[in-house]
Structures are given as structure tokens and as C-alpha cells.
A and B are shown apart, each in its own frame.
Chain A
Amino acid sequence: MIKKKHYKKILLQITWQSAAILSFAIILGFLANTLRANRLALKTDWSTKSQLSQGNDEAGIIPFDLAKKFFYSHAAVFIDARSTNNYNKGHIKGALNLPIDYFEERYWKVMANVSSETLIITYCNGENCHASEEVAMFLFELGHNNVKILVDGWTLWQQNCLPIEKGAAASS
């Protein structure tokens, strides 16, 4: 009976003290953040699109219309960063398949005929897909100076009824 009463008392103490500590810390944090010069916005857009357009990464994003223009003028190599299975089901016409999970194994074979100065456009599927971003980073680190990311590329390409093809590519 005494023990039960004791635990009830401790639980009550933990509850009100935790609430008080957290409230006090949040007020302090809020005041400090408001008063400081390098204030941090309480809400920031952390999406890939936003981060890349702010120049937070070495590789940048390419607008859809520009990617389309480069496709028709054959001025860019498109890299599909999705899995081989998805690539085989359908991909941008002429795109090479370089899945992020097999990057190291396939890089030399897939990129054998692509020079470091060639414009490369990576894409995957969906706004939250980071594979194209990661592949772009790796390519950049390996000396490809002209790498761009087409965010949500596969979806946009299909929505605009642009040329696609199915099946495995010889290079992948």
C-alpha cells in the first residue's frame, strides 16, 4: 500500500517536473533564437528540390523544359538511377541504367563512353526519391563536372508523353 502510494507520488513528480523542464527549455530556446543574429527559421523546406536550388549541394537541378530540350538536341546523357527491374519496365529513351545500389559495380561499364565534360542528367521516380541525387553526387565526385538532376523525372516524362522505351539496355 505504502509502495503503491510512493510510486504514485514519484510518477506525479516526474510528470509535473518534466512538463516544467520542457516548458522552461522551450521558452529559453525560443527567446534565444528570436534574439540571435543568425536566427534559424522554425520551419524550412528540406525537400531535395529546395535544398538543391539553394545551392546546398555540388550538383544542381535542371528544369523539366530544359531537360526536354537537351533530350531532343541529343546534348545530354540521361541516367536512370532506379532499380534494373523498374528500368526494364520503362525508361526515358536512350537512358542508361545506373542503380544507386550497384553504382560501384556498374559505373565503369555503364559510363565507359561518357566523357567527364558530357552533360549528364540523372533521374528517378517521385519527389522523395533520393537515388538520382545520390548518383549525381557520386558522378560529381568521380570527376563528371556537368551533372544535373531531374527531380521526379520519370513521372514528369510520362505525364508529358515524351519518348520512352522498355527492356534492358546493352550497357546495363
Chain B
Amino acid sequence: MKSNKQYKLSILGKPPLFWCRLLLGMVFLMASMDKIVHPAAFAKMVYNYQILPDVLVNLTAVFLPWIEIVLGFLLIFGLWMPGAIAISNFLLLTFFCSLIFNAARGLDIHCGCFSTSTKIFASATRQILRDIVFLVISFYLFLKIIVSSNDS
């Protein structure tokens, strides 16, 4: 049986891989909540990006939050990591490209990343920087997963 001190040490002594997947998992969970509660508002935000064809707007609004929530739980519990990390990288890269694309063509829209409320507004630069941070973490996890499973 572990003492309190030993338990604290074992938590703090976790490798960066653990903290990174915990952080990314929490990010995906937080990002999905508001979108699940307000699907119509999220659909409007997807439409405002003016990237997807009309037929894919509502489908994205219905399914994307659930992909994020499933990813969030898998990352937090460390399950099916290769698949979860691959989708995470793909999603974050897609979000990043969308933000860059819209910033480049001067489209000043609400990100809809964490909230569907139009009152919460972050500048395009801030949104892009935040996405870069998540993308770096996700890519680090991707490399770690491949390398560590190669070592084993």
C-alpha cells in the first residue's frame, strides 16, 4: 500500500507524455461541451468559416463535438493512443489551416473553438497561437507514441 508521500511522488514523477495527453484530453473535452449543448449555434459558426460545402455544415456540427469528446476520454485514460493521437493531429491541423486561411482572406469570424457564444471573441492571432500550442503537444505525443512503442 502506497503512503500519501509516495502517492504524491508517483503523480508528480509522471512522464511529460502523461501530462501532455491529460492536457490535450481536457482541451478536447472542454471544446466539445458547448457545441453539444448548442448544435444550431455551432452549425452557424461552421457555416461562417465558408470553407465546407453546405451539405457538410450540419453533419460537421452534429458529429465533430462527439469525435472531440471520445478523443478527450481516450487521451485522458490513455486508450487506443495511436488512433486517438492520429485523429487529434489531423483535427488540430485542419483547425489550424482553417484559421490561417480565413485570417489570410481577412474573414473576421468567431472561432467557435471552445464556445458557441458570439460574446466571447478572441483575435485571429490569439486563436492561431493557441492552436499552434495544442498542435505542438499533439505532434509531440505522436512522436513519443511511435518512438516508445518502437523501443518496447
Q: Which residues in A have some Cβ–Cβ distance to B below 8 Å?
A: 3, 6-7, 10, 13-18, 20-22, 24-26, 28-30, 32-33, 36, 38, 40-47
Contacts and interface: CB of A to CB of B under 8 A. Distances in A.
A47 B66 contact: no
A40 B37 CA distance: 11
B51 interface: no
Interface residues of B, number: 30
B62 A47 contact: no
Contact of A30 (B62, B82, B146, B149): B62
A60 to B, nearest CB: 18
B36 A20 contact: no
Given A17-B80, A44-B57, A10 B149 contact: yes
B69 interface: yes
Interface of B: 36, 39-40, 43, 47, 54-55, 57-59, 61-63, 65-67, 69-71, 74, 80, 82-84, 86-87, 145-146, 149-150
Q: Which of B83, B87, B149 has the most CB of A within 10 A?
A: B83
Given A14-B83, A21-B87, A22-B87, A32 B36 contact: yes
A12 to B, nearest CB: 9
A16 B83 contact: yes
Contact of B63 (A16, A26, A44, A46): A26
11 contacts: A14-B82, A15-B83, A21-B87, A22-B67, A25-B67, A25-B70, A28-B66, A28-B70, A41-B58, A42-B62, A46-B54
A25 B82 contact: no
Contact of A33 (B39, B83, B84): B39
Contacts of A40: 39-40, 43, 58, 61-62
B86 A18 contact: yes
Nearest to A36: B39
Nearest to B79: A17
A42 to B, nearest CB: 5
Contacts of B57: 44, 46
A24 B71 CA distance: 11
Contacts of A28: 66, 69-70
Contacts of A21: 67, 70-71, 74, 80, 83-84, 87
Nearest to A130: B50
